Every structure is written in structure tokens, then in C-alpha cells.
């Protein structure tokens, strides 16, 4: 498989994915490499469904084997939401900080701190043929936003067995443990065997 397309317009996510692949000497194409900016509507009810919608769309549009991910955070004090609506939920606030404050307040009110990040990756190599890879990382919501690295909810998520948020870890450290890297490593394992 010479060319493999990663279907995402999220620059941070693309950088993270390319770094993981580089370690395995695999080159991947991004949407910016192909000057594609349009995306399908993500109307799935699960991470797997949304990933599949995107990887099918990328494959049908370009003819390249394509993979896409859908990720999100599930928070106990919010009844394990926002889940597949993580990006929409974050964008409903006037700033990321306002969103984080609201989540932290909800945690304190409900005395619940548990959370997890989940990633589902769908690989499409033929029409309507998908292979799904999942990654999950458990942890808790911190009592304040901390850290300069990462993106999304990273500043308020403390992975299990850590005392720092994902945003306080370097990209290298985060890529060792993150939900996305777990799923990507499964994908790479599949591609290289």
C-alpha cells in the first residue's frame, strides 16, 4: 500500500497522526496535501459510525485507501456525554476555558470525576469494506485546566496513573499513551502484518 490517506481537516490531529506513522516509516497523505477541504456530515450515533462515514467518503472521493478517526471524551458527571458530540459541545461555549469551568463545576456538584477518551478508526480499502480499530484511555477530570500542549479537552483530562493532564505532557509522552495512539498502533500493526 503506497498511498494511504488520513481523512481529517483537524491540523493538530493530522500532525499527531503523521508523527506516530513516521516512527514506522509509513508516509501518509493528508487532506491538505490533496487540497481537499469538504467533509461529509457526521451523523453517526457512535464513534465507529462517524469514522466509517469519513473513511468511506475519502476513499470514494480519491480512490486512495483511506482511514479516518472519530474521538471524544465521555464524562461521568455529564452522564458519560458529550461522546460523539465532544467537538460541538466544546464549540457551544464562548471559549474552551468556559467549557472547562462548566465541566469542573458539574464534577464538584455531582462528586464525580471519572472520564475516558475514546477513538475509533475506520480503514476503507474497498467500497463498503471497513476495518475498525478502537483505543480508549481512562482517567479523571482535573479540578483546574492545566498545560500548554495538546488540544480539545486535554487541559482537563488526567490519565490513569498520572498526576498531570494530557496538556502537560509533551507530544511524545502523549503519543505513548493516548487513545488515538492506541487505535493507530492497532491500525499500523494491521497494515504491516
- The residues carrying an active-site annotation are 70
What's the chain's Rg over C-alpha atoms?
A: 17
DSSP count for the chain of H helices, then E strands: 6, 7
> Dihedrals φ, ψ of 29, to 5°?
-90, 145
How large is the greatest C-alpha to C-alpha distance in the chain, in angstroms? 52
What b/e readout covers 40-78, taking b as 16+ CB neighbours within 10 angstroms?
eebebeebbbbbbbbbbbbbebbebbbbbbbbbbbbbbb
3-class state of residue 163 by DSSP: coil
Distance from C-alpha of 172 to C-alpha of 3, rounded to nearest angstrom: 25
Amino acid at each position: 500500500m503506497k498511498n494511504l490517506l488520513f481523512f481529517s481537516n483537524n491540523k493538530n490531529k493530522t500532525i499527531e497522526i503523521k508523527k506516530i506513522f513516521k516512527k514506522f516509516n509509513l508516509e501518509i497523505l493528508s487532506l491538505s496535501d490533496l487540497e481537499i477541504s469538504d467533509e461529509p456530515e457526521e451523523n453517526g450515533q457512535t464513534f465507529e459510525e462517524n469514522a466509517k462515514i469519513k473513511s468511506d467518503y475519502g476513499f470514494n472521493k480519491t480512490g486512495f485507501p483511506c482511514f479516518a478517526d472519530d474521538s471524544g471524551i465521555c464524562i461521568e458527571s455529564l452522564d458519560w456525554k458529550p461522546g460523539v458530540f465532544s467537538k460541538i459541545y466544546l464549540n457551544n461555549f464562548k471559549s474552551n476555558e468556559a467549557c472547562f469551568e462548566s465541566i469542573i463545576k458539574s464534577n464538584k456538584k455531582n462528586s464525580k470525576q471519572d472520564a475516558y477518551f475514546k477513538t475509533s478508526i475506520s480503514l476503507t480499502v474497498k467500497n463498503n469494506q471497513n476495518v475498525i480499530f478502537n483505543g480508549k484511555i481512562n482517567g479523571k477530570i482535573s479540578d483546574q485546566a492545566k498545560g500548554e500542549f495538546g488540544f480539545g479537552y486535554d487541559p482537563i483530562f488526567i490519565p490513569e496513573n498520572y498526576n498531570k493532564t494530557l496538556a502537560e505532557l509533551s507530544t511524545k509522552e502523549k503519543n505513548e499513551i493516548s487513545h488515538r495512539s492506541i487505535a493507530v498502533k492497532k491500525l499500523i500493526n494491521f497494515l504491516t502484518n
